[in-house]
Amino acid sequence: MNEAPKHILVVEDEEDLRFSLCHNLRFEGYAVDSAKDGLEGWHRYEQGQYQLLILDVVMPQMDGLQLLKRVRSNDPITPVMMLTARASETDKVLGLELGADDYLAKPFGLSELLARVRALLRRSSAKSVDELERAERLVFGGIEIDFERMTVQRAGKPIHFSQKEFMLIRYLAERAGKAIYKKEILDAVWGYQSAATTRTIDTHIARIRRKLGDQSSRKIIQTVPTVGYKFTADLD
């Protein structure tokens, strides 16, 4: 029995680019909906069920970052790729802060876009036996992380985590007490074809620490000089 095609929503105000993206994604076998601005994109998102969102940053009505923030307010799971002509590190960090899973600067090559789409969909739908056997909850120091429900609470208060943040802390926690090389983390969490760098890991670790109140003592994730990181929290 053939698997149903993955459903993708493209929100892009440049008509020619929007047409090209949709045409090529459909040619690859995906089911694709599109919207010309953030507000229309939000309405389509509310009405559909998507396995991936591709959002332009600069758009009328509602920009991509506003749309991303609205999506993440009730959906921490669906992968989101941002497209933008802005190349500054600040803009990229802001998008990642709001929960984006990938960031592609214009102009970009079609093959690169398709490779990233495949990587995001592959990671979000992975259901290997090993993954199903892993613990679905982490509890430590007043913090509870539920990987099945994709929720995080600290002292009973909810905290937003992006998909990558969930994947990163889970990867480290499953290897608690072991120093993990950054290259290993990149390959496991971002995929070997990703354009992410070790700086990307540092940025995500900093956000996780801040969200979990691990800014100064580093009792949850420890930096291992010249190597990478180590999960050091005492699990309940």
Task: List, for residues 82-107, the tens digit of each pLDDT value.
Answer: 998 765 566 666 777 777 888 888 88
The pLDDT > 90 percentage for the chain reads: 31
Question: Of 125, 140, 156, which residue sits at a domain end?
Answer: 125
Tokens of 87: 């190349």
Q: Are residues 135 and 102 in the same domain?
A: no
CATH of the domain at 200: 1.10.10.10
Q: Are residues 155 and 207 in the same domain?
A: yes
Q: What is the total count of domains within the chain?
A: 2
CATH of the domain at 120: 3.40.50.2300
Task: List, for residues 7-21, the tens digit of each pLDDT value.
Answer: 999 999 999 999 999
In this structure, are residues 179 and 228 in contact, taking their beta carbons and an 8 Å threshold?
yes
Across residues 155-182, what is the average pLDDT?
86
Question: What's the pLDDT at 87?
Answer: 58
**Which pTM value belongs to this model?**
0.60
* Gap between the terminal Cα atoms of the chain: 43
Q: Are residues 83 and 150 in the same domain?
A: no
Domain for residue 34, yes or no?
yes
Cα four-point dihedral sign 20, 34, 162, 30 = negative
Q: Are residues 116 and 137 in the same domain?
A: no
Q: Are residues 70 and 117 in the same domain?
A: yes
Q: Are residues 33 and 116 in the same domain?
A: yes
Task: List, for residues 21-38, the tens digit of each pLDDT value.
Answer: 999 999 999 999 999 999
Task: List, for residues 171-227, the tens digit of each pLDDT value.
Answer: 888 888 889 999 888 888 877 555 677 888 899 999 899 888 876 667 889 999 999
pLDDT-derived band at 131 (thresholds 50, 70, 90) equals very low
Domain for residue 155, yes or no?
yes
Q: Are residues 19 and 115 in the same domain?
A: yes
Determine the structural domain holding residue 17 and report its residue range.
7-125
Q: Are residues 107 and 147 in the same domain?
A: no
